Structure 1
């Protein structure tokens, strides 16, 4: 049994939370003992309560298979090799998380959108594709889904403000279509002595018409 989902980025995490099957707390405790330990902001009772919600919400979806795909980087390897099996053990929903090349992810996503063939139920893909998802209207609007069809199976403790970068995964219609899963942080270094050199400051002001400083927008960076 498989429901037809076309999603993106960490939408797959929400969909997992939206379709759990029956397993048990023993498996959940094993996961907490081996993987979470003291890494959570929740205490142990809170962690168990969180996973109990997943176990209970999963019961109507016992036996479901969900196929997920992402590019092969360390973050997604952990999701595939650790989180997916743990989710299956805790909920009874079988998660198959394939790891392939980034270009292959995009190719399969495009093929699915154009052909209508359900290759994968969820895609972990770049937020750059937000425009594609919005135009094709084949990915679920998470905003509408969580408020309507998926309301009963959306984690009540989910706080979208906890996610960094949701403005890049929100479409022009104001709806959220993707949840950020991991980030590539860019770090820029600058020469403090150059930026405080009086001649450099004077030359810069004469050429550009404003004071020399660390760039705060793209035009200044260029």
Structure 2
């Protein structure tokens, strides 16, 4: 914990300088959104707000950085309540239905926002945004997050606060080896580089395995069904697939695109390490750090941790020694439309007894001044989501090719694909997870997809096709629901 506290003190010092206000010395018009939030929040000094956060590393932000600093600046105490990610939606709904007022600030997975907003769980934020002058800074959030993860049917229900996107990491030393490049060009007729299509991914991966295995395999991907379902969502749309017929709301995942993706995934497993079907985040991450695979696709923390960022921080002591720190290349995944898998938006619970204090806290956290510091906390998992995060000279100097990392995340923040968002989205996603489990179990791919369609159609009818269509059409109309 000592190293975390040292890091926190350094960040606190810079943060305090960014937001400290000498009473009466700064005209209101010149104040930043962070300044305004601090000043307004002082009237609630002595209040405690309850913040629901995903358990694990995420809460180290409000526990060791933003929470203590907010209390120092405003007198408002932040009580962090942790929950495993799969339980957050259920706990949020239960608290609302019980009228318990258990939570003030909510971390909302963006594709669950329509469900929560239409159920009345989330407080509309438009009036607060206008009152405290946050609209201009909201426009500085990267468009893919701002235009897709903030509103439901035209109203603001959350501030995009986490730039989750699945990008490609690869071994530059292997890809740029002259002998390897020449052999690959002779075999396939094009230059070796980050794959632009999933066909190229298969060819490059097979080539690398043939040349380097068992020391190094061509790739290792997220194959555990809970993670792999995001990869399926991305690849299905990259191949031209649509989830539903917009007029009838009949599922169409058993199309030619769905079958192609399932068959490609099966073929890829043949040249990946044995047991890859059970790989989740940790297995793929550890294999990449060890230099055992030439490529992987995963969340942004892989890119900075593999480069050694945060080394020596007690909270990251579980991360093995990286053997690829100076060998990492960053690129968009094949198809150039990365999945914006999971992510978080900051919202206010409609049942909160401290709505204004809760709002002011999330405006301050999400602001230009404070968010740039939060996304650089090595242990807190908040990924860049504002234009200023990608261009920050400080962040771009954190390791030798941090600029390439941030440029790739910025590109992903322009072309990334939204997670499917529906009423009871978790039930539709569970169908994909079960389908992938059956795929790894040896069932026929077309039969699996046909069964998935039947399952989805039954669920849609149970929810109400017109109710579901309203939500789906709103989601599908957003710029990043499907590739342009």
* TM-score of the pair, normalised by structure 2: 0.30
**Do structure 1's residue 178 and structure 2's residue 158 form an aligned pair?**
yes
Tell me the secondary structure at the aligned position of residue 140 of structure 1: coil
Distance (Å, rounded) in 2 between the aligned partners of 1:102 and 1:161: 28
**Do structure 1's residue 168 and structure 2's residue 187 form an aligned pair?**
no
Distance (Å, rounded) in 2 between the aligned partners of 1:188 and 1:55: 39
- Counterpart of 1:137 (choices 120, 141, 153) is 120
**Do structure 1's residue 159 and structure 2's residue 178 form an aligned pair?**
no
- Contact 1:76/1:99 (8 A) holds in 2: yes
Count residues with an aligned counterpart: 171
**Do structure 1's residue 65 and structure 2's residue 48 form an aligned pair?**
yes
Structure 2 vs 1, CA of residues 37 and 90 (structure 1 numbering), >3 Å: closer, same or farther?
Answer: closer
- Which position in structure 1 is the counterpart of 2:167? 187
- Which position in structure 1 is the counterpart of 2:402? none
| Residue deviations 1:19-65 (CA, integer Å, cap 9, x gap) | xxxxxxxxxxxx99731566x8xxx5x54355654442123222222
Q: Which runs of 5+ in 2 are unaligned?
A: 1-6, 22-31, 176-180, 191-198, 202-233, 241-260, 262-484
What's the CA shift for 1:142?
A: 1.9
Structure 2 vs 1, CA of residues 37 and 130 (structure 1 numbering), >3 Å: closer, same or farther?
Answer: same
What's the CA shift for 1:166?
A: 2.5
- Contact 1:133/1:177 (8 A) holds in 2: no
Question: In angstroms, what is the RMSD of aligned CA positions?
Answer: 3.9
- Contact 2:124/2:157 (8 A) holds in 1: yes
- Counterpart of 1:34 (choices 3, 10, 13) is 10
Tell me the secondary structure at the aligned position of residue 50 of structure 2: strand
- Counterpart of 1:120 (choices 90, 93, 103) is 103
Tell me the secondary structure at the aligned position of residue 70 of structure 1: strand
Structure 2 vs 1, CA of residues 162 and 111 (structure 1 numbering), >3 Å: closer, same or farther?
Answer: same
Question: Which structure has the bigger radius of gyration?
Answer: 2
- Counterpart of 1:218 (choices 237, 240, 254) is 237
- Contact 1:169/1:177 (8 A) holds in 2: no
Distance (Å, rounded) in 2 between the aligned partners of 1:119 and 1:55: 24
Structure 2 vs 1, CA of residues 73 and 114 (structure 1 numbering), >3 Å: closer, same or farther?
Answer: same
Structure 2 vs 1, CA of residues 175 and 155 (structure 1 numbering), >3 Å: closer, same or farther?
Answer: closer
Tell me the secondary structure at the aligned position of residue 124 of structure 1: strand
**Do structure 1's residue 56 and structure 2's residue 39 form an aligned pair?**
yes
Distance (Å, rounded) in 1 between the aligned partners of 2:151 and 2:138: 19
Tell me the secondary structure at the aligned position of residue 154 of structure 2: coil
Q: Which runs of 5+ in 1 are unaligned?
A: 1-30, 200-211
- Which range moves more in the overlay, 89-98 or 71-80? 71-80
Distance (Å, rounded) in 1 between the aligned partners of 2:46 and 2:66: 18
